[in-house]
Amino acid sequence: YYQKFGTGHPIILLHDYFQDGSIFDKLIAPLSLSYTVYVPDLRGYGMSQGESTHYYQTDAEDMASFIRKVNNISNKRCENIL
């Protein structure tokens, strides 16, 4: 699960464990004025389905797949992960 806001060069806001994308609610509006902001929930957190793995390797693979998807959608390279 992810949310998408705004237009422009893509950035991804990625939360830590035991949180979800809502921790970025105050940042989304100002960032979306200049960027396409993607806010995914890690597997098992927030609105994402599945069980949380707490394995960095699995989360890294999920995020690498997500970045590839974002790059294909936006036709712009996503290089910023906050």
Residue-wise pLDDT tens digits, 19-59: 777 788 899 999 999 998 999 887 666 656 667 666 778 87
Q: What is the per-residue pLDDT for 54?
A: 64
Mean pLDDT (the chain, rounded):
77
The edge-to-edge listing of strands for the beta sheet with 35-40 is 2-5, 35-40, 9-12, 80-81
14 vs 37, more confident? 37
Identify the burial level of 72 via C-beta atoms within 10 angstroms of its C-beta, where 0-12 means exposed, 13-18 middle and 19 or more buried.
Answer: exposed
Does the pLDDT of residue 78 top 60, yes or no? no
- Identity of the amino acid at 46: G
